[in-house]
Amino acid sequence: MESKNSLRNKSGVFSNFIPGKDGSVSILLYGEIGDKEKVDPTDIVSQLFELSNRYKAISVHINSNGGDVFSGIAIFNALKSSDADISIHVDGVAASIAGVIALCGKKLYMNQYARLMIHNVSGGCFGNKEDLRDMISCIENLENTIADMISKRCQKSKEEISALYFDGKDHWITAQEALSMGLIDGITGDKEDVPENGTVDDIYNYFNNKLMSSKSNSFGLKADVQTAYDKGFISQSDYDYLNSLNSENEDSIKQYLTKKQTEFRNKKGTEYETFVQENGNVFRRLSPDFVNGALKELALNDLDAFKTFANNTAPKRMIKDVIEQGLYGNERKPRGEWTLTDYRKFSPKELERNPSLYNRLLEQEKLRK
């Protein structure tokens, strides 16, 4: 199994990207844009950099009504400055700061039902007059950048674009209108069940629901396969085969992934238990419940890293070990190696206070016999 670094966000592995069969990958900007929102700038920017090194082409798919302006600017700048082969696809709605992201300067496509909305950049801040001036300057610079990009595509001056779109109103543009203006590079998508004369909200909800539906979209399933591969549950050949299947095989794929995850955890669990037994001096001060519970779960996330950490953790003598050694002599073995006989001889009251310890030692005694 090839070792790979997992793509992780604040809550675990990234789930908003879909690997393609041709060495490409899609990133989904679906939902509210902002810190800790569905489109989190920290996650998206980190993801963009790592995926750029792993895939030859990146498609960014947008269905968002916008959100926090500074979060959007971070994503806009990351896309604009990237040297990767990036294309932008407006699947449903790209409004407000999401529309700004769409106009980052990369190849831009719209679904035939999609809507793009351009208006004045909005933002706010608290602070002194210098802070307010900085905010105004930031907004003006961003509007100038957008006007410059639109003007180059539409063969109009920046001044004309500013007068047309930055007038305090919302300007909704259809795919056909955007193509006629030269604002986009093409129109994509097959016929969809979008309500005729549907509102912007209808379009937004339709494509969000489509994404969530496993019958019509395998995005989530492909992310599960990617996660299983990154975590080492499945091999490269498994990964390639599972990605070649369609969503009709969803139940079978999920059952297989669950099986491989269980096999992987069982194997790593056995390795962990063997390691603990072979390095008893490191773990002897820890309760059995902790060693076999929370610590084991932590170790199974990255067993090799855990072993390295444990091997570099020098065991320290506890005060009670020093005291007991003074009481019972230098030749007495460490407490972590005590048998039931040792406890009965040196610390019988601890057996009374700790029934689980007594039962464990009793089982060990039976195994020795």
Q: What is the distance in angstroms between the CA of the first residue and the CA of the last residue of the chain?
A: 42
Give me the pLDDT at residue 298, please: 76
The H or E element that residue 152 is part of is: helix 129-154
Of 178, 212, 246, at which residue does a domain stop?
212
pLDDT digits (tens, 9 = 90+) for 38-64: 899 998 998 898 888 888 899 999 999
Residue 204 in domain: yes
Q: Could you tell me if 200 and 277 lie in one domain?
A: no
Give me the pLDDT at residue 33, please: 93
Residue 313 in domain: no
Q: Could you tell me if 38 and 167 lie in one domain?
A: yes
Give me the pLDDT at residue 5, please: 35
Residue 230 in domain: no
Give pTM, 2 decimals.
0.56
Q: Could you tell me if 289 and 343 lie in one domain?
A: no
- For residue 318, the 8-state DSSP code is -
Residue 64 in domain: yes
Give me the pLDDT at residue 207, please: 85
Residue 268 in domain: yes
Q: Could you tell me if 160 and 42 lie in one domain?
A: yes
Residue 356: domain span: 319-368
Q: Could you tell me if 207 and 91 lie in one domain?
A: yes
Residue 218 in domain: no
What angle, rounded to 10 degrees, do the helices at 158-165 and 129-154 form? 110
pLDDT digits (tens, 9 = 90+) for 125-177: 788 888 888 888 888 888 888 888 888 888 889 899 889 888 889 999 999 99
Q: What does the H/E/C string look like for 219-268?
A: HHHHHHHHHHHHCCCCCHHHHHHHHHCCHHHHHHHHHHHHHHHHHHHHHH
Give me the pLDDT at residue 87, please: 96
- For residue 188, the 8-state DSSP code is E
Q: Could you tell me if 97 and 241 lie in one domain?
A: no
Domain harbouring 72, CATH code: 3.90.226.10
Question: Is the Cβ–Cβ distance between 96 and 120 less than 8 Å?
Answer: no
Quick one: tokens of 142?
A: 């961003």
Q: Could you tell me if 67 and 168 lie in one domain?
A: yes
Question: Is the Cβ–Cβ distance between 79 and 106 less than 8 Å?
Answer: yes
Give me the pLDDT at residue 219, please: 56
Of 163, 178, 212, at which residue does a domain stop?
212
Mark the ranges of the chain whose per-residue pLDDT is less than 50: 1-14, 214-217, 322-331
Q: Could you tell me if 98 and 123 lie in one domain?
A: yes
Q: Could you tell me if 146 and 288 lie in one domain?
A: no
- The owner of tokens 């980190």 is 46
Quick one: tokens of 42?
A: 């920290």
Q: Could you tell me if 188 and 47 lie in one domain?
A: yes
Query: What is the number of domains present in the chain?
Result: 3
Listed residue (274, 282, 284, 283) closest to 338, CA to CA: 284
Give me the pLDDT at residue 223, please: 72
Give me the pLDDT at residue 246, please: 64
Quick one: tokens of 323?
A: 């005291």
Of 212, 228, 263, at which residue does a domain stop?
212
- C-alpha dist (Å) from residue 123 to 36, 119, 134: 19, 12, 11
Give me the pLDDT at residue 209, please: 81
173 strand-pairing partners: 116
Give me the pLDDT at residue 333, please: 65
Which amino acid, one-letter code, is at 218?
A: S
| Dist CA 331 CA 314 (whole Å) | 22
Give me the pLDDT at residue 65, please: 93
Give me the pLDDT at residue 293, please: 80
Residue 129 in domain: yes
Residue 361 in domain: yes
Quick one: tokens of 283?
A: 């773990």
Which amino acid, one-letter code, is at 2?
A: E
Q: Could you tell me if 186 and 273 lie in one domain?
A: no
Q: Could you tell me if 51 and 170 lie in one domain?
A: yes
